Amino acid sequence: MSVLVTGAAGFVGSHLTETLVREGHHVRALVRYTSRGTAGWLDVVDRHVAAQIEILKGDVRDAQAVRRAAAGTTRIYHLAALIGIPYSYESPDAYIGTNIIGTANVLDAARDLGDKLERVVHTSTSECYGTALSVPIDETHPLQAQSPYAATKIAADKLVESYHRSFGLRVVTLRPFNTYGPRQSTRAVVPTIITQVLSSPRVRLGNTWTTRDFNYVDDTVRGFLLAGSAPAVDGRVINVGSGREVSIDQLVTVIGRMLGREAVVETDSARVRPPASEVERLIADTTLARNLLGWTPQISLEEGLQRTIVWIRDHQDEFRVAGYHV
């Protein structure tokens, strides 16, 4: 099968691309052009895998580039997005361009493929739900835009819904909760805690009483693969999460214990979200994923954290620990 992955150079996208190649698919990877000529995390995948990836440099905001990338493919996995929540407060226009206009470009390119296209798998986020009004959170939970990032992802999800209802586009929306694992940057809380505990007993964080639902990247990738091939899921939104609620305080304790260190948490005001913007509680109901995809998480939080710690220890030179980088 000929497959397009947008956002293939990123954390989850690189893992998905690598897995698709290993499963025997021809994978075209759309990665954002830079003058350095790099392909993000695809530059570090196994060389035998990398040799089989067709890499195209471009930008999802460029409709022509997206059409060229999509031409001749039979399935599209759309992961390209700006994802750092704090930066969305500073530059919302950038998120509108990439997350909304970029998604519209992907959908239009998919329409051009007509009956040759089997499906688009669109990537959403649990941030669309905002703070849980009821738990666990199922797909009927109200959508609450508590950050500019969340607003653009909700808009993208609704564009996807409209293209399915208006044009019959075969598309499914996967809504991952907090994915973590190797290759994730310190903009996310798990690598932030691990890198800080490895370098110092002091861990500087924002609010630590908030809770999240952490899902290891291999489980998330398996959700994408199943969503791409499962029957009768077009037009659906499907959660992918562990179903386990963990506070950031608890996460620090678990990671500290694994590293044999007692971490002391200090509040860094720069990392605290605006009060009305803070998502206080997330925990997934994955009944639909189980019933429609046959998906359940396979890797526990403890096992996933251990794998992530091992990888970060082997790549400490690639992380900036000092200071806070939005």
Q: Would you please indicate which residues are annotated as catalytic (active-site) residues?
A: 149
Closest Cα partner for 138 from 285, 238, 244?
Answer: 285
Within its chain, how far is the Cα of 167 from the centroid?
A: 27
Q: How far apart are CA 169 and CA 234, in angstroms?
A: 8
CA angle 284/290/291 to nearest 5° reads 125
- Strand, coil or helix: what is 14? helix
Residues 6 or more apart from 10 whose CB is under 8 A from it? Answer: 40, 41, 79, 80, 83
List, in sequence order, every beta strand (DSSP E) within 59-157: 75-78, 119-123
Question: Count H helices, E strands: the chain?
Answer: 12, 13
d(CA 60, CA 29): 12
Task: Find, among 210, 220, 289, the residue nearest to 251 by Cα.
Answer: 210
- Spatial neighbors of 161 by CB under 8 A, at least 6 apart, are 173, 235
Sign of CA dihedral 322, 323, 325, 326: positive
Say if residue 48 is exposed, middle or buried (CB neighbours under 10 Å; 0-12, 13-18, 19+).
exposed
Using the structure block, give the residue that is written with the tokens 């990836």. Answer: 53
- Residue type, position 282, single letter: L
Burial of 312 (C-beta count, 10 Å sphere; 0-12/13-18/19+): buried
